[in-house]
Amino acid sequence: MTGPVLKVEGLTKTFGGLVAVDHVDFTLPGGGLHAIIGPNGAGKTTFFNLISGFLPATAGRALFLGQDIIGKRPHEISRLGIARTLQIKSVFNGLSVYDNVWIAAKGQSTFLNPFRAASSYTEVASEAAALLDEVGLADRRDEIAGNLSYGDVALLEIAIALATKPKLLLLDEPVSGMSPGETERTVEIIKNCSKRLDVILIEHDMEVVFGAADVITVMNQGAILCEGPPNAIAKDPSVQEAYLGVPEDEEAADA
Amino acid sequence: MGMFGKLEPMQALGLLGALFFLTAPYALPLVVPDFWINITAEILIWSLFAASVNLLLGYTGLLSFGQALYFGMGAYGVSLSIEFWHFSFWPAAAVGVAVAMLSAVVTGVFAARLTWHYFAIITVVFSLIFFFVAVGWKDVTGGDDGMPFTLPPVLKIGGFELTLLDRTFQYYFILAVVASCFALMHRLLQSPLGKAFVAVRENAARASLVGYNPYMVRLVSFVFAGFFAGVSGVLFALFSRYASAHFLFWTVSGEGVVWAIVGGAGTLFGPVLGAAFLIIVREELSVYWEHYLLVVGVIVILCVAYAPAGIMGLLRKGIDRYRRRPAAAVEKKSADAPADGNRKEARR
């Protein structure tokens, strides 16, 4: 297959008078870990919401492997091969860790047989078990998801997303609220994922972003400010400006 | 004792319950007047009706105040086919169930788009619409007076005839149908579809992000619930030999909700316990006091406030407490899971 994994053209979302995402053009050529950073309110999560079908776009389109996904609903987009985690961690709280992943792995089936026991799907069961191994939650499999620590919930959510066998994984602040140890482990898991599928990562932890990402896109006020490899982004004055503001004397000089 | 020793306490209780229902027509007359056989049959029918509420409320997370609609459709489906079209027993029963499911599809297309109180309101509105139609359309439905019909035989081979007029056969017929429906529901809940119901109840947004269409899942669950309510309506019409507009009234739906909640929503047999308990309360109390519903009201309030997992939850808690005292070391663990039907899965 040629062509980019994701090609976004003129994607726009307005809430009343507020332009949350402003004519964004974005291309994900595929291969590697792509990070999106930007100050609060830059439109990063709204961008995710648009390409995962959570919000209808005001204008523009987004081609995933050549197919326009704008206007499709979340479950349709999931079945095309995009999985995501949410900024506010979202799992099936009342169910066991294992069932969380099992349900996600089974979610891609077109037919849910009401007369066959769920436990008889050995393939789904081994997929779920393997994913719990991968994220290190194997010994927590019978625990109720709602009783897990915050970091473990985030890992479970990643396992849930991976269980849908995505081609593209969208991670929204996966390490927020994690201890340094948990962060290190999670970054390792994300890096491993990015070897077999495309990952877009929204993250505020700059150490994580600059350590792990191959390409970084910076958003500010709904638009893309710049894009490039980590070392180029780190030196870019417009990025520092977006994060830290314009020094007062320069502002005066501009006026 | 040795036989019970190997069983989990809940399984032992279930076995006792099964034993009771299997022997009721012979065992009950030894201790109580004969009419308790019919009350037990009625408990079975209403258990199935409450189970229909429970499928939506306890597993899919939808509070339906309109299950009486499908109950009434089942009842009218069977009685009209017998009275007007002179169908024999089984085709008439099939018509009743089919009509109930069809009306669940038609109303579900709209209702399944909604959740929470909006869903509760639209289900009650649908059932009220059909109730007023049934009350008004006296020529066909008999309105409030109801429409009696003559029971056709269940089976007739030459001179041999099986009919529900035989009280013992009627009891076992109802038991067989209700038990099959509960077996079907158990199957359903253990299936991938059953898991999808629970996933949508737990977190519809997350379910949609992993590929489930929450609307379709809710609709399918709604139609299955319509099926169970329809079967119970068919049984009740056959049992009482008539159908009435009152079967569709919202108080019938409300009773189903109350039985499911008091028994324990989200557990397979909770509705049986709820229906049994409150019907026995009704039978015993209504003789002495016409305002016995006040007592039922108090029971419901206490249950919702102090035992949200219902009688089933209280039983489990009691057993857990009893077991923890001796031989706690043998038990792998007794996680305090949220009290609902997912415990079993959680233990796996």
Q: What ipTM does this complex have? A: 0.89
| Rg, Å, chain B Cα set | 21
Using alpha carbons, select from B28, B39, B64 the residue that is nearest to residue B49. B64
Structure tokens at B53: 């509420």
Residue B333 pLDDT more than 60?
Answer: no
How near does any CA of chain B get to the CA of A173, in Å? 17
CA angle B226, B231, B232 (to 5 degrees): 100
Which residue in chain B is spatially nearest to A165 when comparing CA positions?
B210
Total residues belonging to chain A: 255
How far is C-alpha B254 from the chain's CA centre?
12
pLDDT tens digit string along B226-285?
999 999 999 999 999 988 888 989 889 999 999 999 999 999 999 999 999 999 988 888
Does residue B348 sit at the A interface (CB-CB below 8 Å)? yes
Residue B185 pLDDT more than 90?
Answer: yes
How far is C-alpha A128 from the chain's CA centre?
20
Q: What is residue A94's predicted lDDT score, i.e. its pLDDT? A: 93
The pLDDT of B77-92, averaged and rounded, is 92
Q: What is residue B326's predicted lDDT score, i.e. its pLDDT? A: 60
pLDDT tens digit string along B95-136?
999 999 999 999 999 999 998 889 999 999 999 999 989 888
Residue B288 pLDDT more than 70?
Answer: yes
Residue numbers in A near B221 (CB within 8 A): none
SS3 A2: coil
Does residue B340 sit at the A interface (CB-CB below 8 Å)? yes
Residue numbers in B near A153 (CB within 8 A): none
Which spans in chain A are helix H? 44-51, 74-80, 97-106, 122-135, 150-163, 180-196, 206-212, 230-235, 237-244, 248-254
pLDDT tens digit string along B199-226?
999 999 999 999 999 999 999 999 999 9
Q: What is the largest CA-CA distance in chain A?
A: 74
pLDDT class of B3 with cuts at 50, 70, 90: low
Residue B339 pLDDT more than 50?
Answer: no
For residues A89 and B345, the model is more confident at: A89
Interface test with B, best of A86, A99, A109, A122 (most B CBs within 10 A): A99
Least confident window among A57-66, B157-166, B308-317 = B157-166
Domain count, chain B: 1
Q: What is residue A250's predicted lDDT score, i.e. its pLDDT? A: 59
- Contact (Cβ atoms closer than 8 angstroms) between residue A8 and residue A62: yes
Which residue in chain A is spatially nearest to B332 when comparing CA positions?
A142
Residues forming a β-bridge with A7 = A27, A63
Interface test with A, best of B55, B209, B213, B332 (most A CBs within 10 A): B209
Q: What does each of the 255 residues of chain A score in pLDDT, given as a tens digit?
A: 567 899 999 999 999 888 898 888 998 988 889 999 988 888 899 999 999 999 999 999 999 998 999 989 999 999 999 999 998 889 999 999 999 999 999 999 888 989 898 988 999 999 999 999 999 999 999 999 999 998 899 999 999 999 999 999 999 999 988 889 899 999 999 999 999 999 999 998 888 888 888 999 999 888 888 888 888 888 888 888 877 776 666 555 554
Q: Do B203 and A79 touch (CB under 8 A)?
A: no
The pLDDT of B63-79, averaged and rounded, is 94
Domain encompassing residue B126: 2-326+334-347
Burial of B183 (0-12, 13-18, 19+ CB in 10 A): exposed
Mean pLDDT, rounded, of chain B: 88
Residue numbers in B near A114 (CB within 8 A): 187-188, 191-194, 224
Q: Do B202 and A94 touch (CB under 8 A)?
A: yes
Q: Which residues of B38-65 are buried (b: 16+ CB within 10 A; e: fewer)?
A: bbbbbbbbbbbbbbbbbbbbbbbbbbbb
Q: Are strands A33-37 and A215-220 parallel, antiparallel or unpaired?
A: parallel
Q: What is residue B90's predicted lDDT score, i.e. its pLDDT? A: 93
- Report the distance separating Cα A70 and Cα A182, nearest Å: 35
Residues 179-218 of B with CB under 8 A from A: 187-188, 190-196, 198-199, 202-203, 205-214
Q: What is the interface size between A and B, counted as CB pairs within 8 Å?
A: 129
- Report the distance separating Cα A217 and Cα A228, nearest Å: 7
A87 Cβ partners below 8 Å, 6+ apart? Answer: A45, A172, A173, A176, A202
Q: What is residue B345's predicted lDDT score, i.e. its pLDDT? A: 42
Q: Do A142 and B337 touch (CB under 8 A)?
A: no
Residue B334 pLDDT more than 50?
Answer: no
Q: What is residue B342's predicted lDDT score, i.e. its pLDDT? A: 43
Domain CATH for B132:
1.10.3470
Structure tokens at B175: 């038991």
The pLDDT of B76-89, averaged and rounded, is 92
In order of their start, the domains of chain A are: 1-75+199-255 (3.40.50.300)
Which residue in chain A is spatially nearest to B197 when comparing CA positions?
A103
Q: Do A114 and B342 touch (CB under 8 A)?
A: no
Residue B44 pLDDT more than 90?
Answer: yes
